[in-house]
Structure 1
């Protein structure tokens, strides 16, 4: 047993871990970490824990270390994975999206990854930008500039970029309860009603709805969202 990282759970922590293992949908790795901590708290050796939980000894060691050096939440969570720093900042990614959604350069039928990379070099301080970086950022936003049925933002000019940066700067500010940042959106919603009464379900048969419906006009749906906390008003 690794004495340096001895796990001693409080009663509250034991209850939390047992509740976690008792039900609900959780990642398999998180459940295994909970089992590791409970077994370590009960006095099991690292070898016994690894064998009973079905993990490697290094996993047992890391989980115990993260608990002792941190807390229960840290021990159950994923460790940050090292990776290359993102080439584009948040503002630059927003600019890339806006550019891809605008009309292509004169004489071009559509945007290509190479054209977008070149446009970003002109619009930012980057000396170069790979097509793969552009492709990944577009994929994250579900954008395919070569498709003709997508919704596009109009011309991206200096005024548009300046206003976009004002909005992005506002979103980047630290949360302030006295000055919440609220997003407002609206959408028309069609009201429909059944033309015929549905047929209730019976043993061996699903409930049935008629394909015909009656229009009952439209209403405007207004939604307000706080960007920094789980609050909304409809």
Structure 2
């Protein structure tokens, strides 16, 4: 049994009396003697044992070289909660705020703030009466990123499945004695010059570039990516009509082994299907065209090369003329071809089709909800 009281008759604080059972005394003694007991727990057990002998907090503090308040704290906790009261420290710092996570997730995914398209940490914090840091923490825990949006478009091509299986089949199981070339044009590449010189990168400061620019004309990059080894055949031309497309097909014919069949993957741009182009292809039977479904340019792996040249050479480039721009593009292609690396296609046609089916179902359900 144990007895304690917070105040004496005259309002003076009185240390609680600690009375231990034989079992409790043995338990505490074992903690003191054990080499596996932590230093903190051993010290607290000694405080309780000395208190059970009838000693006051001041005497215990002097004997153990501790603060009097520390002795009083653990004495009272043992009196209230027994061994559980001294085994663990109480949580430190401010008590955790109570956030209605379910409501936070519901508001984030099912509603919008007034006069805005999406929630920010501050607007959500003001709505729920919590801190912006709490909103950010719970968004991360639930995988929510309302500040981001991803573009998409589902192809409505009537022959989508047929074209998908055809092109993915070329990527994952290319035919023997043949080359698979992903072809496309990156049109309207602008030669942009900045109105003022920028500052270079240095410690503590990013590279700077003026937001305005001067236009000096455009060029179109025609490119054919060899799926097997990553080599790129590139050519810059001022326009992108069927005449320029034919002019690009000729170097492909010259620079590839004559004993190889050529499978060209391209989009549905009208210049690729022009009657003059078809006549030329009929006279060159080793060329076989494979067209991607409409609104499915992501199936053409040359787009990945276009992204690389844009981010690595063009976006931050400064070009005072079109010839300077063309020279930079040709130098990039030549450098790429020194140590080319092929892009590896990993998704099967079945996996892609299943994803498209799921997207169509979700879009259909959203349209039905909007109608009702």
Same fold, judged at TM 0.5 (above): no
Q: Which has the higher contact order (CA 8 A, sep 6+)?
A: 2
**TM-score, with normalisation over the residues of structure 2?**
0.27
**TM-score, with normalisation over the residues of structure 1?**
0.40
Structure with the larger helix share: 2
Question: If you compute each CA radius of gyration, which structure gives the higher value, 1 or 2?
Answer: 2
